[in-house]
Amino acid sequence: MRLDINTYHEIADSLLRNKSRSLLTGFGIFWGLFMLLVMLGAGDGIKGLLTENFEGFASNAAIIVSSNTSVPYKGFQEGRYWELEYRDMERLKKLIPELDVVTPMISQWGQNAVYNSLSTSANVTGVNADYVAIEAPVMKYGRFLNEVDVERGRKVCVIGKRIYQDLFPDGGDPCGTFIQVGSVFFQIVGVNVSSGMMNINGSTEQKVIIPATIAQQLYNRGESVDILCATAKSGIHMTELETRVRQVLGREHFFDPDDEPAMMFLDTEQIFSLIDTLFRGVDFLILLIGLGTLFAGAVGVSNIMMVTVKERTVEIGIRRAIGATPSDILSQIMLESVSLTLIAGMFGIMFSVMSLSVAEMIVRSSGEFNPAFQISFGLAVAAAALLALLGVVAGLAPALRAMNIKPVDAMRDE
């Protein structure tokens, strides 16, 4: 007996004779692989959505905000509020050369933006041109603020996506037109359509961004600023600089550098690291559950092949008697095992790809997100190879048992 077309007919006949057990075991393998691939594909899609929402935000930055002190310091009582100043930007740059960009932010909430007869609520934010190093804009029209705008105190602005939609419902390029914010008219120089989840002092979609120098004058802020944003130079972690930042600002504003509540220092690197750790844990959990289900299916395949070998003891004995070699018997049982796992596995791969495609179309139909719920070709090949290996392992014990059946014992069993 050789591995010709007749052998494959015999394998099919064997699977059909044990169809109820084969279907049950095959469904276990199908479901295990289906769940594994769907969860991995969905996990990558969700990770892509989060990455898309955080895209453009500096991953090694710090957001510095002043607050009330919690301990007395150099004659000052606890509970004293201090304010960040425009000069702090230069102090930090000079005393901490490892910092790359230090830029201020001034915010004025609850403003009203008007164009012709249309109006919408807006949050006015004053920044410098180098703020793009903290939160990169996505410009649909025009440009972002530049150094000349800030130095000359030009009354220009960059509007967010929601403000553009409310004031210019017919679309088109609004650059060059003037909108009224409060009692002041600003010329639009750009439209920022960034809609990421990570924003500073409010959603970018609702912001009217103006030069910080103009914001200081309009809102009588003097030298005070609401927030300082900073990035570290390449190869330097912002966490390493926190103590020195606290020392510099504590010395200038008379608060204890060890008084953590006195100054909020939000390190974005820690946030991104936490998200990465979370997804690594989720991926490991998905892999553990999926592989556990697959191995349970492999055990089922091994059991069904054991039953098959026991029921076909006489048949195997007759084949041995008429000349079939032990390797022929071994090959047939192994092929039956591998065939069962691969057939169930292929259906699992196909249905997982179809399910992920449907999920991707549903999410994309909302128009807000552009996810990629899919599995790679390499992952599909790896899954098929794993199934073949599981089929070999599952069929090994039944095949060895079948190979050791002797014709005389088979006749006696009959």
Q: What is the pLDDT of residue 3?
A: 45
* Overall number of domains in the chain: 2
Q: What is the pLDDT of residue 362?
A: 78
Q: Are residues 290 and 373 in the same domain?
A: yes
Between 91 and 28, the higher pLDDT residue:
91
Hey, what long-range contacts does 269-274 have (CB within 8 A, 24 or more apart)? Answer: 269/59, 269/60, 269/61, 269/237, 269/238, 269/239, 270/239, 271/198, 272/54, 272/59
Q: Are residues 26 and 144 in the same domain?
A: no
Q: Are residues 205 and 278 in the same domain?
A: no
Q: Are residues 22 and 162 in the same domain?
A: no
Domain-embedded: residue 41: yes
Q: Are residues 135 and 246 in the same domain?
A: yes
Q: What is the pLDDT of residue 15?
A: 47
Pairwise CA distance, residues 99 & 97, whole Å? 5
**What's the predicted TM-score (pTM) here?**
0.68
Q: Please, what sign has the CA dihedral across residues 333, 338, 343, 344?
A: positive
The tokens for 351 are 């249905």
Q: Are residues 387 and 282 in the same domain?
A: yes
Asked if residues 403 and 316 have their Cβ atoms less than 8 Å apart, the reply is no
Residue 376 — pLDDT band, cuts 50, 70, 90? confident
Domain boundary among 218, 253, 288: 253
Report whether pLDDT(209) > 90: yes
The tokens for 19 are 């169809």
Tokens 């390449």 found at: 234
Report whether pLDDT(367) > 50: yes
Q: Which of 46-50, 255-259, 339-343 has the lowest mean pLDDT?
A: 46-50
Domain boundary among 207, 225, 253: 253
Most confidently modeled range among 59-63, 259-263, 280-284: 259-263
Convert the pLDDT of each residue in 267-286 to its tens digit. Answer: 888 888 887 888 788 778 87
Give me the mean pLDDT over the 313-324 stretch: 69
Report whether pLDDT(357) > 90: no
Give me the mean pLDDT over the 215-233 stretch: 91
Domain-embedded: residue 68: no
Beta bridge partners of 227: 65, 105
Residue 44 — pLDDT band, cuts 50, 70, 90? confident
Domain-embedded: residue 157: yes
Q: Are residues 87 and 207 in the same domain?
A: yes
Q: What percent of the chain has pLDDT over 90?
A: 36
Q: Please, what sign has the CA dihedral across residues 74, 76, 77, 79?
A: negative
User: Chain-wide mean pLDDT for the chain?
Assistant: 81
Asked if residues 128 and 228 have their Cβ atoms less than 8 Å apart, the reply is no
Between 62 and 357, the higher pLDDT residue:
62
Domain-embedded: residue 264: no
Domain-embedded: residue 72: no
Asked if residues 11 and 342 have their Cβ atoms less than 8 Å apart, the reply is no
Report whether pLDDT(264) > 80: yes
Pairwise CA distance, residues 290 & 127, whole Å? 49
Burial code (b: 16+ CB inside 10 Å, e: under 16) for 141-164 equals bbebbeeebbeeebebbbbbbbbb
Residue 410 — pLDDT band, cuts 50, 70, 90? low
Residue 128 — pLDDT band, cuts 50, 70, 90? very high
Q: What is the pLDDT of residue 8?
A: 46
The tokens for 355 are 């399910």
Convert the pLDDT of each residue in 171-190 to its tens digit. Answer: 899 999 999 998 899 999 99
Q: Are residues 162 and 243 in the same domain?
A: yes
Q: What is the pLDDT of residue 1?
A: 40
Pairwise CA distance, residues 58 & 157, whole Å? 22
DSSP assignments along 305-360, one per residue = HHHHHHHTHHHHHHHHHTT--HHHHHHHHHHHHHHHHHHHHHHHHHHHHHHHHHHH
Asked if residues 306 and 401 have their Cβ atoms less than 8 Å apart, the reply is yes
Asked if residues 22 and 305 have their Cβ atoms less than 8 Å apart, the reply is no
Q: What is the pLDDT of residue 6?
A: 53
Domain extent, residue 291, equals 5-54+273-413
What are the phi and psi torsion angles at 325 (to 5°)? -85, 160
Domain-embedded: residue 63: no
Beta bridge partners of 113: 120, 181
Q: Are residues 354 and 383 in the same domain?
A: yes
Pairwise CA distance, residues 126 & 107, whole Å? 6
Q: What is the pLDDT of residue 408?
A: 58
Residue 383: count of CB within 10 angstroms of its CB: 22
Q: Are residues 176 and 317 in the same domain?
A: no
Q: What is the pLDDT of residue 178?
A: 95
Asked if residues 159 and 194 have their Cβ atoms less than 8 Å apart, the reply is no
Q: What is the pLDDT of residue 196?
A: 66
76 burial type by CB count under 10 A (0-12 exposed, 13-18 middle, 19+ buried): middle
Domain-embedded: residue 70: no
Report whether pLDDT(191) > 90: yes
How many Cα atoms within 13 Å fall on the side-chain side of residue 286?
Answer: 18
Asked if residues 111 and 208 have their Cβ atoms less than 8 Å apart, the reply is yes
Q: Are residues 139 and 239 in the same domain?
A: yes
Domain-embedded: residue 97: yes
What are the phi and psi torsion angles at 112 (to 5°)? -125, 125
Residue 140 — pLDDT band, cuts 50, 70, 90? very high
Q: What is the pLDDT of residue 2?
A: 44
Length of the chain: 414
Q: Are residues 94 and 242 in the same domain?
A: yes
Residue 369 — pLDDT band, cuts 50, 70, 90? low
Report whether pLDDT(10) > 70: no
Asked if residues 384 and 345 have their Cβ atoms less than 8 Å apart, the reply is yes
Give me the mean pLDDT over the 347-373 stretch: 75
Report whether pLDDT(169) > 80: yes
Report whether pLDDT(11) > 50: no
> Does an H or E element contain 82, and which?
none
